[in-house]
Structure 1
């Protein structure tokens, strides 16, 4: 693959509006800054009509869901659709409760998403597959994740990125797997949420090629994670800080050289 979008992010410094959870907000903001994007964290319903006029992408993350956020998400998503900026959905823990499932169902029915990014359990739930979820963790199940990604992508007319030991990206026609990463990722809370935010930055500069942007975002992030994990075993604090450092230092050449992709 070629690295097309990383340098565009750093040149354009796109503003990424995040409606996200209290666990992820700080880490996501710092990760976007490290990459070269500009974060805006707002879930106030009163701002949701104006915010898409300022932003180049919207990331909706349902991690710590409350009623007022649901209304803000719907309003922001619809306004972003009207303005033509890409919208990313991170359906955190969608299988955990009926409230989360109903919220995601409503978001998917009323907002056109460019990308859905979640773990295997979250996407299996959206696809209607049997899965044993454990809170916001991936849980366990026996399904073909490529098939799940393809079906959900076709159903909602978007790109799907399923994060895990092997990441799966599909737009329903093209499908790729990314084999970079580190076991330290799930040891750091909000590491998946940060990936969703970073996908928003890549989609913000992609001129409509959301599959290519999501693929490069995934490779860039997992390569940065690999580099941050070098020499570490259980030092998750050092890994978290190192990940931000590696995102800031990442180059297009490193993405191309170290990315392990099957397309």
Structure 2
């Protein structure tokens, strides 16, 4: 089986003229290919590693995919130290240098514009997680405080019935309160970033134990505002975490969430 080009990312020619290191498995040499002021960071791989029947089995094996996916991102992150990057998805293959050049040349304006736009910026991920039992308890406790005097003088049976009713109301109100809080936090984070993507709509459909993912955001943040951005995430947690809603921030990441679509798909 012949070798093909594996693409990690595109960068600005002149900022990445030479790179030492190895490719997707840690054994291949990294190869730089220059096209109209854009440098493609590549390596050569056997085509059947990512294409064909044998590849289908490998790509279902986390033990095979995991280390390569991690290395893919690490190489891009290394390039990010020197240049803005247009990251390629994991497993982007090209049958020849000519094929890669055709993709780049046919999208050169969009690629250059993206590299200009993301210069001195980083992608940061913010996930909102709600602990449902804790959040419901917080709403219920608030209701209980309002009616504490009335309930204290009520018969035990009536008090029990009323508390059950209030807890049921708290469960019904949870979704609306979480969405409102996420809207407030999202607007504050957007105000100190350059761009935003919502990667997952608010949903209580998937849970990790009692924690449920309610928002999954990506923000493009200028280097000069990263400290302020992270402070805003911390401030959001100080406001909402005690009530069961927490925001987890991670980054910086290659700006995958903001890449425009290119007109020609890689040849596999």
Q: What TM bracket, shorter-length normalisation?
A: under 0.3
Which one scores higher on RCO, CA 8 angstroms, separation ≥ 6? 2
Larger Rg: 2
- TM-score normalized with structure 2 length: 0.23
- TM-score normalized with structure 1 length: 0.23
